Amino acid sequence: MKIMFYFLRPFDELPFCEEFSKEFGIEYDHVFAYPTAENVILAKGCDAVSTTPCDMGAEMLERFAELGVKYLCCRSIGYDHIDLKKAKELGMKVSNASYPPQGVANYAVMLIMMCLRKIMPIMKRAEIQDFSLEGKMGHDISRCTIGVIGTGRIGTTVIRSLSGFGCRILAHDIFENEEAKQYAEYVSMDRLLAESDVITLHTNITQKNSHILNEEAFAKCKNGVIIVNTARGGLIDTGALIHALSSGKAGGAALDVLENENGLYYYNRQGDIIANDEMAILRSFPNVILSPHTAFYTDDAIRFMVRSAFESAYAFSQGAETPHEIKLP
């Protein structure tokens, strides 16, 4: 059995491939580029293909299927970049990765604190030796109400961490988590929007919750609400967020993910003209932090992500169950 790894990073992922190749008895090959029409042929003779988020639409899947690829093993929790209907049609199995929730959760808490204490303007002004206080006064998190949308492993870890600050925590999810209930109060979405000083997103994206924060949602929020997103860019209507920031309805935002980020994040685009007007507008706001999808990026997470690809491919080949398998529509 053999896996073809696309966009395999030599500086962090490759050593783990060596380790898990031996553990599972699976051969692998790799390329440092994303799948393209030109390099898809490299997967010939491989049973599985592993990628990070990239274009895995119907045409690409058909090309892989023609080469004999049966398994698509994502090295990411998210799998919305894969055409799942086409994968099912082609008889391909799909898996995602898992990793400890603390990395993303701690990053989200960091972003909340950075926004509340206006750390970006403080540091930028310090760089030009402006050490004055005017315009730098922040908010004490202990006196804030934090709204957490999504209480899975990451969201619940965020709630547990925030509880140590003594802040009031509201939660919303279609499935209530017993651990989260120890620290947070489950409320309706409308109440969470109306009462939260900070809203942080920790849910997968579906057709039902795409643009869960839109014009209508922002209208229900407190004036000056801070928005933090370390989940999926499509959870926020970016145009609506820009309007909320421009009007003052939103007092700031920290976004580790962004709509239409494919082709931007994880690439070196120095010197390029980036045709993303919404990103340019967001970058112009002094109260917005754009972080290039790095909340997950810890040594523990990378090890788990690479292992997930080998583990899933091995389970698929043995006809065994794996918790990483995605149920296709």
CB 209 within 8 Å of CB 203 = yes
Tell me the average pLDDT of the chain: 96
Residues identified as active-site = 232, 261, 293
- Per-residue pLDDT tens digits for 171-202: 999 999 999 999 999 999 999 999 999 999 99
Please tell me the predicted confidence (pLDDT) of residue 207.
86
Mean pLDDT to the nearest integer, 204-211: 91
Is 90 exceeded by the pLDDT of residue 262? Answer: no
Query: pTM score, two decimals?
Result: 0.90
Mean pLDDT to the nearest integer, 150-172: 98
Mean pLDDT to the nearest integer, 78-94: 95
Is 90 exceeded by the pLDDT of residue 105? Answer: yes
Please tell me the predicted confidence (pLDDT) of residue 55.
87
Please tell me the predicted confidence (pLDDT) of residue 80.
84
Please tell me the predicted confidence (pLDDT) of residue 40.
97
More confident: 54 or 302? 302
Mean pLDDT to the nearest integer, 278-305: 96
Mean pLDDT to the nearest integer, 144-159: 98
Is 90 exceeded by the pLDDT of residue 78? Answer: no
Is 90 exceeded by the pLDDT of residue 252? Answer: yes
d(CA 55, CA 35): 8
Is 90 exceeded by the pLDDT of residue 263? Answer: no
Please tell me the predicted confidence (pLDDT) of residue 77.
86
d(CA 288, CA 291): 10
Quote the percentage of the chain above a pLDDT of 90. Answer: 93
Mean pLDDT to the nearest integer, 37-55: 95
What are the φ/ψ torsions at residue 118 (nearest 5 degrees)?
Answer: 55, 45
Its sign, for the CA torsion 21, 26, 27, 30, is: negative
Polymer length of the chain: 329
pLDDT band at 113 (very low <50, low <70, confident <90, very high): very high
Mean pLDDT to the nearest integer, 99-108: 97
